[in-house]
Amino acid sequence: MKRRTLLLLLLGAGAALAQKSDARVVRITARKFEFSPAEVTLKSGEPVLFELSTEDVAMGFSAAQLNLHAEIVPGQVTRVPFTPGRPGRFEYICDVFCGEGHEDMAGVINIEA
For residues 58 and 71, the answer to whether their CB atoms sit within 8 Å is yes
- What is residue 21's predicted lDDT score, i.e. its pLDDT? 62
Per the domain annotation, does 30 fall within a domain? Answer: yes
- Buried (b) or exposed (e) across 32-41, using 16+ Cβ within 10 A? bbebeeeebe
67 has a pLDDT exceeding 50: yes
Which CATH number covers residue 55? Answer: 2.60.40.420
What is the tens place of the pLDDT at every residue in 10-60? 444 444 444 456 899 999 999 988 999 999 999 999 999 999 999 889 999
Q: State the pTM of this model.
A: 0.78
What pLDDT shows up at residue 2? 54
* In-domain check, residue 11: no
Q: Is residue 17 part of a domain?
A: no
In a domain, 3, yes or no: no
Which structural domain, as residue segments, surrounds residue 29? 23-112
Report yes or no on 86 lying in a domain.
Answer: yes
pLDDT of amino acid 16: 46
Number of domains in the chain: 1
How large is the average pLDDT for residues 88-100? 89
Q: Residue 88, by phi and psi: left (phi above 0), alpha (psi -120 to 50) or beta?
A: left
Q: Is residue 5 part of a domain?
A: no
